A and B are shown apart, each in its own frame.
Chain A
Amino acid sequence: MAESNVPRWPGLVGTLASLAGIGVAGYLTYEHFTGSHSLVCSDHGGINCLAVTTSQYSKVLGIPVALLGLIYFVVMLVLQLPQMWDRAEPLIRRARVGWAVVGLVSVVYLLYTELFRIDAICLWCTGVHVLTFIVFVSTVLATLNTEDPLYEGPPGRQR
């Protein structure tokens, strides 16, 4: 197995942020499937989790966004484990960066819907968005820190 020259902090940051993301997204998923009766959040004015989590934008192709968030962080947790950062295979690096980009694009879309379509902000969702951003930044910076990031070299050569 090829060893990378990545420092330890990205794995630690990514793992912790992913674990926190699983916690928050898991909570929102639970609330989604149990009618949001116990959702701890303001439900009036600009901060209104219920308006967001029960809006028409709370599902994508019939799948709850909260569940998609949970799946996202579970996959990201695997990719962020320090053992995975120790592996220098380009496929793993690309999967990690690509998955982080997917998360961030989703966050921008969801932020747009909150601000301009739902007209309400969900604090729990914002927490998920911040965690996604942290994972993205740490992933990008750490990947850049490695020698020759994402470069496989000419065909037939092994790094």
Chain B
Amino acid sequence: MPNDPQPPRGKPKKSGASPPAGKSPGNRTPGNRPPGKGPAGGKPAGNRSAPSGSASNRSAASGSASNRSSANRKFTERQAAKQQAARAARQARNRTLGIASIVIVVVIVAVLIVVKIGGGGGGNSNSSVSSPAAGTPVTAAITKHLTSVPLSTLAAAPTSGVASAPGAIKDAKLTADGKPELLFIGAEFCPICATERWAMYVALSKFGTFSPAPGRLHSAVRDGDIPTITFYGTKYTSRYLTFTPVETTTNEPDGNYYVTLQTPTPTEQKIWESHTDQSFPFLDFAGKEDLTTAQFDPSLLEQGVTFDQIAADVGNNSTTVGGDIDASAKVLIQTICSKMTGAKPATVCRAVGNG
């Protein structure tokens, strides 16, 4: 014990220099001395004998010193025992805490798995990723890219992948705010809506602006998990038409269906039911034409394609996805121009052959 102060070996302290009985000698640290070990010199002080032929008073002094050393030793031993007991208690406490933490982690993981298997905890085996209803923000660069696809590119898009197109209906003219109305009834879980929204966004951006820009999300995992945008939470402004999007649910499962988001007005509900069995998507072009499905194959977007990849393909007719979205947008623009806006704006409608 290098830092354990010891009196000089073989030099008994004078009584005046000795510490009072019951007090640790000097600044000795009791904890640093192994229990049972005697004082300096490695020899028990009590066995130390006085030199032969010493005077009686020296013998008495020696006996007194021996008693003090014995008391000091006992004190040191008691302190060491206390120190060791405290250390053992700390170790036991830490050991308990450590093992308990491991057990707790295992239990938490087990509970999560059991709850999941049991179908509880707000999800089930068919649950899906939930997103903010208005989606997450799209970067400015992507928004600009999607809203500024050249009309010439759209006009040149190959239509070989377009399998469906708006069809004629004979309803009363649908208007809102004094302008022809494009009614969209969809749902954020819906993969077909997810597919068609890409073309809708590109096309509608030629007639007006969205503020804020549509957020990004995806259809439900159990329904294609297709990256897309949502029109919920946006406001569309146009001189030529009124766009009324109704996103009826989020993509968050609620039992066997999804969490309700928006409810069509009674008039919208009536129109919707008159043309579909309340299926999605439903687009009504001012009561003159409707579209009840995506124009191109949604499975093209189900193959693990990311939002950024789809966005990058838009405006690139050499890619299948990009060509199909561009062609679908062209058809929507043509329909809007011919059935809703009277071929306005001319620059847009003329560019796609409806001017």
Contact = CB atoms under 8 A, between A and B. Distances in A.
A118 B308 contact: no
B interface bracket (residues with beta carbon within 8 Å of A): 20 to 34
Contacts of A9: none
A104 B105 contact: yes
A115 B112 contact: yes
Contacts of B129: 51, 55-57, 117-119
Contact of A108 (B91, B109, B125): B109
Interface in A104-124: 104, 108, 111-112, 115-120
A111 B95 CA distance: 27
B116 interface: yes
Looking at A116, A137, A147, the one whose CB has the most chain B CB atoms below 10 A away is A116
Interface stretch (A18-26, A64-72, A79-87, A148-156): A148-156
Interface string A119-159: 11000000000000100110011011001111100000100
Interface string B119-157: 001110111111100001000000000000000000000
Classify the secondary structure of B's interface with A: helix
B112 A148 contact: no
A119 B127 contact: yes
Nearest to B136: A56
B113 interface: yes
Contacts of A5: none
Given A36-B306, A43-B304, A56-B136, A115 B91 contact: no
Contacts of B125: 46, 119
B319 interface: no
A136 B112 contact: no
A115 B116 contact: yes
Given A51-B221, A116-B123, A56 B131 contact: yes
Contacts of B116: 115-116
12 contacts: A35-B309, A51-B221, A108-B109, A115-B113, A119-B125, A119-B127, A119-B128, A120-B221, A143-B94, A144-B99, A148-B90, A157-B29
